[in-house]
Chain A
Amino acid sequence: MLRLLIEKELRDIIGSTKFTTTFAVCAILILLAFYVGARNYQVSMNEFEAARSENLRQMEELTNWNEVDHRIFLEPQPLAALVSGISNDIGRTVDVETRGELSSENSRFNEDPIFAVFRFLDLQFIFTVVLSLFAILFGFDAINGEKERGTLRLSFANSVPRDKYILGKLVGSFLALVIPLLLAVLVGFLLLVVMGIPMDGGLWARLGLIVLSGLMYFGVFLTLSVFISTLTEHSSTSFLLLLVAWIFAVLIIPRTAVLLSGRAVDVPSMDQINYEKATLENELWDQDRKQMSEFWRSNPPSENESREESMARFRRFMSELADAREEEQQKLAEQLNENRRNREFVQQKLALNIARVSPTASFALASSDLAGTSLELKQRFVESANLYQQTYATFVNEKTGGMGGGWWSRMNSDEEADPIDPYELPVYEYVEPETSEFINGALPDMALLMVFNLLFFAGAFVRFLKYDVR
């Protein structure tokens, strides 16, 4: 009986012209997402390589390691091309200095207008916007439509248990829509292979889970649609209700969450922080300038000291001052940044938690967690850049004999030297965390999606047991 009902649902949906046309659109979009994603990856990879070697090339003429303007770049990740998350909106380039704060800049190595236009067309967008509508389009009249068509009464003139009927409906329509979509996704996977995107086991596992959470998200809208169709008399009513629900879930709730958390938690602006930093810098400079002008008075050159020696003494003194100044500045900067980061973190957490009322947010979070393009990406990049800074500083200090950094030593560098070999620089590599870490990050949101599914499933089920089938 259940099988018969499921088969009927499959045939009913797949045989309709509505399905043929809308599925064709969805399939094309999915394939396009994979294609554009893969191309995007290739292009960014080329740009990344080019930017990296260009940076090294620029160093070739230099003779002093202190003059080096070394930049490191965040390597493009294959999955980021499918679920872009924030990967396009964070700085992917860091100017490495041997000391001081590092900050990332430039959202891409190079802004390619074509890809900027198609940027929205990633797999995540297709799922959140297109496939959720697809689910609504085939679920909104699941029950009330059968009633309007009169097929419900004819079915229930037979000895058909209601639980089996609604189960067949839910399972059948899910399979009828998901199997064809999965086929399109599989072709997309094939496209990745054909286009030579370097996918390892971990990446495949994560991509598989992205698709799985996409299907769960799809299921949320399908079960919701069936549920609403058991709550309403007319399919036109359920369609309208579902559209409103869609607008809230996809468009309104995530944005409102950000607005609300922005009001609830105050984060000091960058301007504010920069102002405080500048104030401190000015104060310190004033003090140091006083000390500098008093240097020769309180430490006059002694008789047996050569001019070079006294200059060296002065230089040392200046260097010490600069170090102390910088240390203090750094301390304040760290404090301010830490405070800002904490506030920002609280604000983001709050925004995300409010947004999770909508399954769209849960899916977006789960998929970007899996793709490695969630908010944590930025933090990971900055952290790894900071780690690299230490290696880099050690390297430069070795090369320059401890005279690294600062304008002062640069201005007074020894005039005669051999050109440096930039390829001696320690290579920066962004290392992604373990696969399990991504998966663990996504699990809570995937569980949430499952809860939504079960909730609406149970709602539809219970409602239908009492449904007026006439």
Chain B
Amino acid sequence: MESKNQPMLQAIDLSKRYEDGHLALDNLNLTVETGQVYAMLGGNGAGKTTAINLFLNFIEPTTGQAVVDGIVTHEEPLKAKERIAYVSENVMLYPNFTALQNVDFFVKLGGKTKYTKEDYRKVLLRVGLQEEAHDRRLKGFSKGMRQKCGIAIAILKDAKAILLDEPTSGLDPKAAFEFIHLLNTLREEGKAILMSTHDIFRAKEVADIVGIMNLGKLVMQRTKDELVGEDLEKLYVEFMAGYMDEVA
């Protein structure tokens, strides 16, 4: 069992300037420890996806490091990715495969080969995908149904760190509510979770730490305790506005 204070996910002076010269991430520093949920808030184009992509080594950092369980991702990407599960903003799977076939493929790709079909079904049910959909081809799935499959795949990978890019986008209210419940369970299992979201209300409810990003910078970061009694929505607007003033 890892100690609670060892960072599982860590961004150290992490910056990304795209080829077109746009500085999408500006000197990001954040830490997510085992058993913690970190919620990144921020408007469109704030740099949340960029940060997550850096953890996955989809892009190379311009400066700084993204570290997973002590492993610098751009130095040893394969080793780092063994420790990460990931749900994208818009989960896309193979349209010709059934839900189970998709889950089977991606979970095996993640290195977990011991599961049975029943294990898959259990997790799919747990994320709210009704039984009759399990053997249907993905072709006819709604965005939310695909999202649920993606979440199931991430759970089944059973990685120490979980990266979630707007995981609840497309989920119906009931599924979104259950997802929060699921996050709590995963936290209890000792996962370190970094999540980007636009859902201020849920972020406050579930996150141990909330960060607000704007124009590639982390402009505010508060722990759950610090947020007690605060109106996060108001803070969000204030920080965004305040930052805008600063820029102006």
Contact A159 B82 (CB under 8 A): yes
Contacts of A154 in B (CB 8 A): 86, 88, 91-93, 106, 150, 153
Supposing A150-B90, A150-B91 touch, asked if A470 and B59 sit within 8 A by C-beta, the answer is yes
Contact B109 A155 (CB under 8 A): yes
Interface residues of B in 72-128 (CB under 8 A from A): 77-79, 81-82, 84-86, 88, 90-97, 101, 105-106, 108-111
CA distance A448 to B106 in the complex (A): 39
Interface residues of A in 1-25 (CB under 8 A from B): 1, 4-5, 8, 11-12, 15-16
- What band does the interface of chain B fall in when counting residues whose beta carbon is under 8 Å from A? 20 to 34
Supposing A11-B101, A15-B97, A470-B58 touch, asked if A158 and B91 sit within 8 A by C-beta, the answer is no
Q: Does A153 contact B (CB under 8 A)?
A: yes
Contacts of A5 in B (CB 8 A): 109
Cβ contacts A to B, 5 pairs, < 8 Å? A11-B101, A153-B88, A154-B153, A156-B58, A157-B56
CA distance A160 to B109 in the complex (A): 7
Of the listed residues B95, B108, B109, the one surrounded by the most CB atoms of chain A closer than 10 A to its CB is B109
CA distance A5 to B56 in the complex (A): 20
- State the 3 A-B residue pairs at the shortest beta-carbon distance, nearest first: A150-B92, A157-B86, A159-B81
Supposing A157-B84, A158-B81, A159-B78 touch, asked if A149 and B105 sit within 8 A by C-beta, the answer is no
Supposing A157-B56, A159-B82, A470-B58 touch, asked if A16 and B96 sit within 8 A by C-beta, the answer is yes
Contacts of A444 in B (CB 8 A): none
Chain A nearest CB from B206 CB (Å) reads 22
CA distance A5 to B102 in the complex (A): 12
A-B contact count (CB 8 A): 71
Contact of A157 among B81, B92, B93, B108 (CB under 8 A): B81
Contact A155 B106 (CB under 8 A): yes
Q: Does A151 contact B (CB under 8 A)?
A: yes
Q: Does B53 contact A (CB under 8 A)?
A: yes
Contact B108 A4 (CB under 8 A): yes
- What band does the interface of chain A fall in when counting residues whose beta carbon is under 8 Å from B? 20 to 34
Chain A nearest CB from B176 CB (Å) reads 21
Chain A residue with minimal CB distance to B76? A159
Contacts of A153 in B (CB 8 A): 58, 88
Contacts of A202 in B (CB 8 A): none
Contact A150 B101 (CB under 8 A): no
Contact of A8 among B82, B105, B157 (CB under 8 A): B105
Supposing A4-B108, A157-B56, A159-B111 touch, asked if A149 and B81 sit within 8 A by C-beta, the answer is no
Chain B nearest CB from A37 CB (Å) reads 35
Chain B residue with minimal CB distance to A157? B86
Supposing A150-B90, A153-B58, A470-B59 touch, asked if A158 and B96 sit within 8 A by C-beta, the answer is no
CA distance A470 to B92 in the complex (A): 12
Q: Could you give, for residues 375-414 of chain A, a 1 whenever the CB lies within 8 Å of some chain B CB and a 0 otherwise?
A: 0000000000000000000000000000000000000000
Chain A nearest CB from B20 CB (Å) reads 14
Q: Does A426 contact B (CB under 8 A)?
A: no
Contact A12 B79 (CB under 8 A): no
Chain A residue with minimal CB distance to B146? A150
Chain B residue with minimal CB distance to A160? B109
Contact A4 B109 (CB under 8 A): yes
Contacts of A4 in B (CB 8 A): 105, 108-109
Q: Does A469 contact B (CB under 8 A)?
A: yes
Q: Does A161 contact B (CB under 8 A)?
A: yes
Chain A residue with minimal CB distance to B154? A157
Q: Could you give, for residues 50-79 of chain B, a 1 whenever the CB lies within 8 Å of some chain A CB and a 0 otherwise?
A: 000100101100000000000000000111
Supposing A157-B56, A160-B109, A470-B53 touch, asked if A151 and B81 sit within 8 A by C-beta, the answer is no
Contacts of A150 in B (CB 8 A): 88, 90-92
